[in-house]
Amino acid sequence: MKTPAKPSKAKSVEAKPMQWDLRLYVAGPTPKSVTAFRNLERLCEEHLAGHYHISVIDLMKSPQLAQGDQILAVPTVVRNLPSPIRKVIGNLSNTERVLVGLDLRARDADPFAPRQGEKNV
């Protein structure tokens, strides 16, 4: 006679949230650079909730760093992790474009779905 199998006592392992590594390339504290940083920080807080790291690289102080990520225009944000590397150029004010560009939202997401804070009428 077989006895019923006992439930496994293995410890449940919680999946660790993915850490995002972002680099924002700027050319000094220009209005576009400041706007890009604020927009990026806001988007990260809304969509990544503390699971991100932003490095701001001022190309006026370290122009040689532009070569590594092949930066041709500023401001530019580069997503290094998770791979693959993604880039978005500009002040990052077009939220939808940035979310798709950094792969935070799928391209085929419902374009008619209400955005945060909006109501369907």
Specify the pTM: 0.73
**Each residue's pLDDT tens digit, 12-59:** 444 556 799 999 999 999 999 999 999 999 999 999 988 999 999 999
DSSP assigned state of 88: E
49-68 confidence digits (pLDDT tens): 889 999 999 999 999 999 98
pLDDT of 105 reads 73
Q: What is the pLDDT of residue 100?
A: 93
Question: Is the model more confident about 15 or about 93?
Answer: 93
Domain positions in the chain: 20-101
CATH number of 20-101: 3.40.30.10
* Paired strand residues for 50: none
> What's the CA gap between 24 and 6, in Å, rounded?
53
